């Protein structure tokens, strides 16, 4: 119990408040099935990569060319597991390199700013994909599958052996579902849930909630009292009335979250102290 409390307390050392510009809000909650939540996350990443002109979904044909005349990156995985996120991570790195070369071709400050915003989004996709890859690596460790991105439990068709060409989608890797999620959406609803820690669920929730939406304001509060706030160019360029409204909303959210966070941390710290006292005989 004390280890769980210590882990929870360590996760409460920092509070992060994001104010996000989000279109077409549905009010949907993160799926209880975390396999589906992971699928939601990666599908948003894939959609963004395709909209940015970097990638296209494999369809059995050679990829079309990007603006520089090079073949687009092919997305061949259909699931939301280690190899799927590795593929998306590689695609994001590919996209950043592509956009870096385009910077000198931008003719207006607005075009350059839009390009940099896209590069920041690609960096987020790269970073969050790496986090999810780490999640599946930990799953492999639990089962003593310690080979780096190995294919233990993968189907015989993996690495193209069951594909007609290098341009086909990979088949579902159902043989690895115990630790992985490189399977079809239908299969995600029919296999056992992933055995995740609270920290892993928190990482999934954060990535699911943030998705590919634009962050306008961010405030990070440390338990020692340090506060750091970040303003994005998109926020700075908002009309004054709208900017004031967003700032007031963010400040209100920060105050409310900080009060709740402080109370929660005190409760956890108190419980942690009592747990250690009972172990070492201090609490009688």
- Mean per-residue pLDDT for 176-186? 91
Give the integer Cα–Cα distance in Å for 63 and 45.
19
Other beta carbons less than 10 A from residue 157's beta carbon: 14
State residue 11's pLDDT score.
64
Domains for the chain: give ranges and CATH numbers.
1-22+213-284 (3.30.1310), 26-212 (no CATH)
71 bridge partner residues = 65
Q: Which two tokens stand for residue 229?
A: 């706030």
What Rg do the C-alpha atoms of the chain give, in angstroms? 22
Q: 152-161 long-range CB contacts below 8 Å, 24 or more apart?
A: 152/176, 153/177, 153/178, 153/179, 153/180
State residue 163's pLDDT score.
58
State residue 18's pLDDT score.
85
Length, in residues, of the chain: 284
Map residue 35 onto helix, strand or coil. Answer: helix
State residue 103's pLDDT score.
86
State residue 192's pLDDT score.
94
Q: Which two tokens stand for residue 40?
A: 């939601």
Most confident of 2-11, 148-157, 193-202, 231-240: 193-202
State residue 27's pLDDT score.
65
Give the integer Cα–Cα distance in Å for 194 and 191.
9
For 82-141, how does the pLDDT look when each residue is reduced to its tens digit (9 = 90+)? 999 999 999 999 999 999 988 888 888 888 888 888 999 999 999 999 999 999 999 988
- Mean per-residue pLDDT for 159-171? 68
Identify whether the C-beta of residue 185 lies closer than 8 Å to the C-beta of residue 174. no
Alpha helices (runs of H) in 103-184, residue ranges in sequence order: 109-142
Nearest to 203, CA basis, from 38, 7, 44: 38
State residue 273's pLDDT score.
65
């Amino acid at each position: 119990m004390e280890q769980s409390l210590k882990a929870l307390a360590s996760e409460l050392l920092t509070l992060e408040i994001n104010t996000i510009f989000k279109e077409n809000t549905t009010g949907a909650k993160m799926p209880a099935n975390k396999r589906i939540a992971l699928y939601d996350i990666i599908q948003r990443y894939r959609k963004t990569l395709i909209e940015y002109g970097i990638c296209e979904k494999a369809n059995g044909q050679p990829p079309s060319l990007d603006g520089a005349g090079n073949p687009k990156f092919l997305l061949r995985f259909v699931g939301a597991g280690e190899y799927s996120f590795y593929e998306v991570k590689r695609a994001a790195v590919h996209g950043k390199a592509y956009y870096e070369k385009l910077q000198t071709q931008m003719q207006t400050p607005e075009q350059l700013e839009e390009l940099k915003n896209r590069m920041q989004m690609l960096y987020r996709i790269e970073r969050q994909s790496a986090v999810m890859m780490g999640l599946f690596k930990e799953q492999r460790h639990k089962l003593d599958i310690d080979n780096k991105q190995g294919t233990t439990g993968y189907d015989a068709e993996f690495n193209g052996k069951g594909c007609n060409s290098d341009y086909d989608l990979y088949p579902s890797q159902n043989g690895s579902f115990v630790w992985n999620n490189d399977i079809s959406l239908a299969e995600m609803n029919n296999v056992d849930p992933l055995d995740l820690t609270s920290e892993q669920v928190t990482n999934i929730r954060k990535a699911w909630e943030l998705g590919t939406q634009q962050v306008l304001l961010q405030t990070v509060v440390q338990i020692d009292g340090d506060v750091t706030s970040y303003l994005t160019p998109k926020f700075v360029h908002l009309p004054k009335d709208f900017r004031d409204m967003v700032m007031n909303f963010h400040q209100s959210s920060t105050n409310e979250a900080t009060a709740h966070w402080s109370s929660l941390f005190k409760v956890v710290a108190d419980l942690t102290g009592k747990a250690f006292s009972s172990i070492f005989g201090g609490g009688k």
